[in-house]
Amino acid sequence: MWLVLVAFLYLAAISIALTLIDLDVHRLPNSIVLPSYIVAIVLLGAASLFTADWDALIRAGVGMVVMYLFYALLRFIRPGGMGGGDVKLAGVLGLYLGWLGWASLIVGAFAAFLLGGIFGIALLVSRRASRRTAIPFGPWMLAGAWVGIFAGPALGAWYLGLLHG
């Protein structure tokens, strides 16, 4: 449906903008992140309305809340380790990933930490950073979300296949 395409094209546009901004100034501006909630809710909500896919809409809501609360918890546990912009962006990404399905949500959330961790380790090994160096996490959240969008169901099925032999 065209509304879904528009929603994900919007996500692609803000992904580029937020990545570049976070890499430059270590911030995820509210002026981009907060309106993204409205855009996602309107477009994905309308798509669910027209297709009567209420499960997708419920998953989107659950994904938004779970991702937001998980990142808020991380920020609470280690103040300064996670920024407020990351917490707000997590809710937006949870909306999109949840709308697609549970596998996309789980893979997208996990991939952010995997990709960010690999990058951090590479910086440490190359001595370009120390354990105290602030690394913007927004780009890795966005990259992880796109892994979930494009490969979530396939990676989820592959992983479950490993568990079940």
DSSP 8-state symbol, 137: -
Averaged over 104-124, what is the pLDDT?
93
**Domain limits at 151?**
2-164
Does 165 have pLDDT greater than 70?
no
Q: Over the chain, what is the mean pLDDT?
A: 93
Q: What is the pLDDT of residues 35-94, one digit of tens each?
A: 999 999 999 999 999 999 999 999 999 999 999 999 999 999 988 788 999 999 999 999
Question: 81-101 burial, b for 16+ CB within 10 Å, e for fewer?
Answer: ebbebbbbbbbbbbbbbbbbb
Place of tokens 């990058």: 119
Instruction: Pick the range with the lowest mean pLDDT from 40-44, 54-58, 120-124, 141-145.
Output: 120-124
State the pLDDT confidence band at 159, using cuts at 50, 70 and 90. confident
**DSSP for 9-37, written as a single string:** HHHHHHHHHHHHHHHHHS---HHHHHHHH
pTM score, two decimals?
0.92
State the pLDDT confidence band at 133, using cuts at 50, 70 and 90. confident
From 105, 107, 72, 101, select the one nearest 88 (Cα to Cα).
Answer: 72
- Chain centroid, CA 160 distance in Å: 22
The total number of structural domains that make up the chain = 1
Does 16 have pLDDT greater than 70?
yes
